[in-house]
Structures are given as structure tokens and as C-alpha cells.
Amino acid sequence: MKQSLEQLQQQLRTLRLSETANYLPSLIQQAESEDWTYQAFLYQLAAYEQKRRDEKQIEKRLKWATFPFYKTIDGFQLDEQQSLSKKQLNQLTEFTWLDQLYNLIILGPPGVGKTHLATGLGIEAIHQGYKVSFISMGQLIHTLKTEEVTRKSQTRMKRIRDANLVIIDDLMFMAMDTREANLFFHLINDLYDKASVILTSNKGPNEWGELLGDPGITTAILDRLLHRAEVIHFRDDDSYRMRHRSSIFMEKSVQN
């Protein structure tokens, strides 16, 4: 029974092979021009559908991750930062630490690339099949406090708890009251032994107590975060943003 191209495309869509349905005319044309066997044609058809599904899955996970910007590891200026070697960066992108549920704590003053490194690792993790969620400390506290009353916060927290990697940016940027500290502890407890966490902060763990307020909660959080953790401390006082800033003043040439 002879079928039209439109009928074949519709059948593919019915089978939820919509990407292949759209690509089918080009695929048939290439198969005819290159004298593909039936097996080769079916292989290319299936491979294209799988490729597009993988790409769409990555697009969806990138959207759900809510990164503040799209900056990859390739764009990270490693030569500007002496606290991390090329070998160490390569080890981080292999994600053995993520499979072993290790945490990363990235410390340093503003502008040294903490958020860029965390985001770059998150984007690379998504491309390698992991689920990632990025959130700033301020957004996290607000979301935790409104989780019981807004659907948006409930959805956000579900994605965070379901992630393989949770990135919390600007940890300890703001002091917490007792309720906020408790909510944060319960989240860290939920993630413990289920996901890896990347934290960025301009304050070291020894200073977190004064911002969390409660010594008991601080100890409990540190126990869970530092049980399996690697600390990367960017010590450069002169930030990358300051070294590469634009100026409104143009250099004046010296005239005799």
C-alpha cells in the first residue's frame, strides 16, 4: 500500500516521533542520493530522533536550572586564578566527585569568578546527564519561607530536592533569623547523601556561626556539608572584574 509523505509524517507524530517527522523529507532525500540500505536508513532515522530528544532534554534542564547567565567552563579564566590548576579543573569536570556525593565549597572575595566556576560546572553537568538547580541564598530563603503557600515555590523546591547537583550562590551573604536557619538546615539535611552541593561564599565556614545565629544549627549544617567536601579558596585580592573593567575615561595622549 503506497502512502504519501504526509501520511508517513503523521504516523510518526502519532508515535511521538515528531522531530523525525519534521526531518523525514531531508532524510529520505539523503538516503536516495547515497543509496542507503533499509538498515542504514532506519539507523539514521532512530539516531536523529535520539539526538533531538537528548538536545531537548538538555534545553529543558538548562531552563529548570535557572542559571543567572550562560557561562561555560571553557570561558573560565583559569590563568587569572592561581588557586586552581588545569588538572584540578579537569578533575572537577569529570564529575567523579558528584557521583560520590562530594560537596564543593568555593570561597573568595567578590569578583574572583566563584559564580562563573559554579555555573560552568553546573552547565557541564547538565550536558553529561545530571539534573542541576541553581539558586542564590537570598532566593533560597524566600522560596523556603513561601513553600507552603505558593505553587511557584513548591515547584522550585521540588526541582531542588530532585536535583543531582544543587548550587547555592552567595551563602552567608545575609544574616538569618532562627526560623530561616532551621529551614536551611532541613534542606541541607534533605540533600545529605542524596545530592552534591556547590556553595559559593565570601566568608569561610568559621564565620558562618555568627550569621546563622544558633551554634547548634551551625554545627549540624557544617557536619553535613563538610563530611565529604572539597574547599576551593580563591585568595586573589584583586578581582577579575576590577582588572578587566571598562572605563569611561579615555587615555589622553601626551602632546608636546
Q: In this structure, what are the phi and psi dihedrals at residue 45, rounded to the nearest 5 degrees?
A: -65, -50
Q: What is the pTM (predicted TM-score) of this model?
A: 0.82
Q: Report yes or no: 191 and 102 within 8 Å, Cβ to Cβ.
A: no
Beta bridge partners of 197: 166
Q: What is the pLDDT along the chain (256 residues), one digit of tens a residue?
A: 456 888 988 999 998 888 899 999 999 999 999 999 999 999 999 999 999 999 999 999 999 999 999 999 998 888 777 788 889 999 999 999 999 999 999 998 888 889 999 999 999 999 999 999 999 999 999 999 999 999 999 999 999 999 999 999 988 667 788 888 899 999 999 999 999 999 999 888 888 777 777 788 888 988 998 889 999 998 755 444 444 444 343 444 444 4
pLDDT of residue 173: 64
pLDDT of residue 245: 46
Q: Report yes or no: 170 and 211 within 8 Å, Cβ to Cβ.
A: no
DSSP state of 76: S
Per the listing, cell 534542606 goes with 187
Q: Three cell numbers at 250? A: 579615555
∠ at Cα 24 (23, 26), nearest 5°? Answer: 75
Beta bridge partners of 169: 136
Beta bridge partners of 133: 166
